[in-house]
Amino acid sequence: MSGERHHNDLGKALRALRIASDKTAETIARRASMSPAKLSKIENAKTLPSVQDVDLILTALGISGEAKAEFLEAARSAATEEMAWRELRRMGHWKHQQAIKAIESQTTVLRLFQGQLVPGLLQSAEYVAAVFALDAELSKESKAKTIAARLERQTVLYDRHREFHFIICEHVLRWRVCPPSVMATQLDRIVSLSRLPNVTIGVLPLSRRMPEFPMTCFSMYDDRLVIVETFHSEITTRDPRDVDLYLSTFSGFDAVALHGDDMRAMVEGIRDEFFREQESA
């Protein structure tokens, strides 16, 4: 009952803030990358908002400082930080891509550790298509929208006011989610993007001793938010202790990763293996 009361109070408070700001629901929903219907359900306590939802709404309203911190604390108390992939699939992966894009647009420094797939921001169109082709439950229309939304997110890489730090495990570069020719093209894209002045890409070679077990993939948005991916769900945390833990974990992996020319030489070597395999097929 207590959680339900907090849920109702949070929705009412967000609605009161919007009305006080003299902004329409349509305007705030657009800025927060959500539909007016979803915002209405949140304001009327018909939908339990995630911490991400509340953060996006507050940012759209221009709320910051202590007031924002209080609302986010209320959101942590009222809402789960975990979203099952089946729920994301139900609401539409492309909508989730838009939500992540909104978070990235508010981020100055993004750090991403990936031990499963090439990071979405670095994926080629063919690689993106191959990734979502693995989900047999996605409709053709949903796949098309999701692919377009992911590719649209990548424009943020060319914003020189933002920094991007990626760490990718070597086995990810060899993980055959595509034919050899597509994998080779994907690795070429990684090399090309690594030359952007605001993009740093590190690769963890299998030959080096690891400081940690790469248990899961995660993305860090400045020092305020971490999104962790598991096999069944996506978990969001803003707890400073958790953020510090992931920052330390990222730094540990980064210290043993290859960067710059050494990284590019390694990636190009794997790329050439795929090219040779394609030619001999």
Check: CB of residue 40 under 8 Å from CB of residue 25.
yes
- Each residue's pLDDT tens digit, 127-176: 999 998 888 888 889 889 999 999 999 999 999 999 999 999 999 999 99
Distance between first and last Cα of the chain? 63
Largest CA-CA distance found in the chain, in angstroms, rounded: 67
The tokens describing 256, both together, are 């043993």
The pLDDT score that the predictor gives to residue 57 is 94
The pLDDT score that the predictor gives to residue 80 is 45
**Secondary structure (H, E, C), 23-66:** CCHHHHHHHCCCCHHHHHHHHCCCCCCCHHHHHHHHHHHCCCHH
- Each residue's pLDDT tens digit, 111-120: 999 999 999 9
Check: CB of residue 187 under 8 Å from CB of residue 271.
yes
The pLDDT score that the predictor gives to residue 81 is 62
Higher pLDDT, 213 or 265: 265
- Each residue's pLDDT tens digit, 236-279: 887 777 889 999 999 999 999 999 999 999 999 999 999 999 88
Quickly state the pLDDT bin for 77 (edges 50, 70, 90).
low
pLDDT of 126 higher than 70? yes
Q: What domains, with CATH codes, occur in the chain?
A: 2-80 (1.10.260.40), 84-280 (3.30.870)
Higher pLDDT, 260 or 81: 260
Segment of 90-99, 205-214, 250-259 carrying the highest mean pLDDT: 250-259
- The amino acid at residue 93 is H
**Strand 225-229, strand 233-237: pairing:** antiparallel
Q: What is the pTM of this model?
A: 0.76
